[in-house]
Structure 1
Amino acid sequence: MQSLKEVSTELHELFEMVHHIRKMEKGTFLFQEGAIANELYIVQSGILQVSKIIPDGRELTLRMCKKGDLIGEIDIFCPSQKYLLSGRVAESGEVAVIMKDVLEEKLSKNLPLSLVYMKWMSQQYRKTQTKFRDLVLHGKKGALYSTLIRISNSYGIMKTDGIMIRLPLTNQELANFCGTSREVVNRLLSDLRKANIISIDKGTITIHDIDYLRNEIDCERCPVEICRIN
């Protein structure tokens, strides 16, 4: 998810609608699937993991959101809508809370802000569509490669030997992004390490040959603002 500054400076007007600041503790849920969707959030600190949890307990992670990210693609001007996803706190921090009714009132009176908000919503749908495209068309290996590329765009730092991902993730967390098992991710990561495509040091992944990952999934070179996990 793009930060407010990246979408448009006009979205900074959302800060004027902040109702209150809420602390979030690691391991807890900020919001859960099925609950009434009446709040929008701006991450102030910490990391929030947005996921779809299916009945058998498996989890498909769609985003890892950080400071400045806008969360909660609620359906505005629709009564009694519910959250379709869950937001679990991966790193303790705070969020600014915007109430849905306040947002609706502001958007109804501010056409420029409404257009920018619609653009932001459109980008979120495009991100979700491309993620599911990779999951469906490229299988488990392609899903992992796509995830590594997206994570590098969101949390990568250029180093002399490649792109270091400054977001430590367990193999289970990577598996949740790919909709597969930890065992499958273990094997695929091992293959990439042996081929010197990546290296892993104390949970930190460095991608040495990102072009290899892109070529393996026939990367369409989407704009970076679309090819992200936040």
Structure 2
Amino acid sequence: MKQNRAVRSDAWDGGLSPAGTSSVYLQPHLALIRELAEPVRLFAGDYLYQEHDPADRLYFVNRGSLKVSKLLEDGSSATLSLHIPGDLFGEPDPFGRAVHQFEAKALEDSEVGIVPQAELDKVIRTNGDFAVEYMGWMALMQRTAQSKLRDLLLHGKSGALCSLLLRLYNMYGTSGTNKETRAIIGKRITNLEMAEMIGSTRESVNRILNELKDLGVISTERGRIVLNDPDYLRNICHCEDCPREICRM
């Protein structure tokens, strides 16, 4: 694990996002994961892990947010996933000798619990109910990855971006400030960041977003994107009404 200024955390508090990937676990088993985890604080920009680090741990996000990405040969970056409070993520290795193929970086000051895979394996061998939930978590991670590939491969850049806007709303959505119900992505996301999430360029994202604005499908408010017509976005990306736990970045 590579960190610039990370320190051990003495506190372990904070709530869980309703769409957290740990939602497949019952509360007693989730408490067990948190008990096994070693809490570590990261500052914005710190690496939780980098490519070729041993992939022998899982990570539980207690506070803040992180992104998992791949550095490409041309120097650009491709974002594979975002992780928020309540998320359990990592690259489980059945053979005990894998290394990370991606890197995980804190997008803001964050607190992450580090769970050794060896300790988790002990629980899986002795607790059948926990093992079933662990398999459910792995299936959830697989289905989420498959849904992203579906959007990228089948529906073009416009479909992928429309899907991304819905996914970001599921993770960071807030209500409007007036009587009209609006879907607002509460986190500021730059066009370049969105381009990295769908394997496109900033110019292409700029063009598609401007087209959506001209149609009145989206607008911006204080730097945040407002989804005025989510149904239009769902139609473009051929939405299959996946659960929030799957329809996320």
TM-score normalized with structure 2 length: 0.86
Could you tell me which residue of structure 2 aligns to residue 116 of structure 1? 133
Could you tell me which residue of structure 1 aligns to residue 89 of structure 2? 71
Unpaired runs of 5+ in structure 1?
none
Q: Is the 8 A contact 1:43 1:94 kept in 2?
A: yes
Higher share in strand: 1
1:37 is the counterpart of 2:55: yes
Q: How does 1:1-230 map to 2 (within 5 A)?
A: 2-3=19-20, 6-9=23-26, 10-18=29-37, 20-75=38-93, 77-159=94-176, 160-229=180-249
Could you tell me which residue of structure 1 aligns to residue 14 of structure 2? none
CA RMSD, aligned part only?
1.7
Q: Give the direction of change, closer, same or farther, for the CA distance of 1:52–1:5 in structure 2 (3 Å limit).
A: closer
Cα distance, 1:201 vs structure 2: 2.4
Instruction: State the alpha-carbon separation in 2 of the partners of residues 73 and 109 from structure 1.
Output: 22
1:57 counterpart SS class: coil
1:91 counterpart SS class: coil
Cα displacement string for residues 43-99 of structure 1 (whole angstroms, at most 9, x for unaligned residues): 121110112332222222122211121121322x42211113211111111111111
By relative contact order (CA 8 Å, sep 6+), the higher-ranking structure is 1
2:205 counterpart SS class: helix
Cα displacement string for residues 98-155 of structure 1 (whole angstroms, at most 9, x for unaligned residues): 1121111121111111110110111101000110110011111111001001111111
Which of 32-41 and 185-194 deviates more? 32-41
Instruction: State the alpha-carbon separation in 1 of the partners of residues 102 and 22 from structure 2.
Output: 24
Q: Give the direction of change, closer, same or farther, for the CA distance of 1:6–1:79 in structure 2 (3 Å limit).
A: closer
Aligned residues: 227
Q: Is the 8 A contact 2:23 2:86 kept in 1?
A: no
Q: Is the 8 A contact 1:73 1:121 kept in 2?
A: no
Cα distance, 1:224 vs structure 2: 2.2
Unpaired runs of 5+ in structure 2?
1-16
Instruction: State the alpha-carbon separation in 2 of the partners of residues 98 and 5 from structure 1.
Output: 13
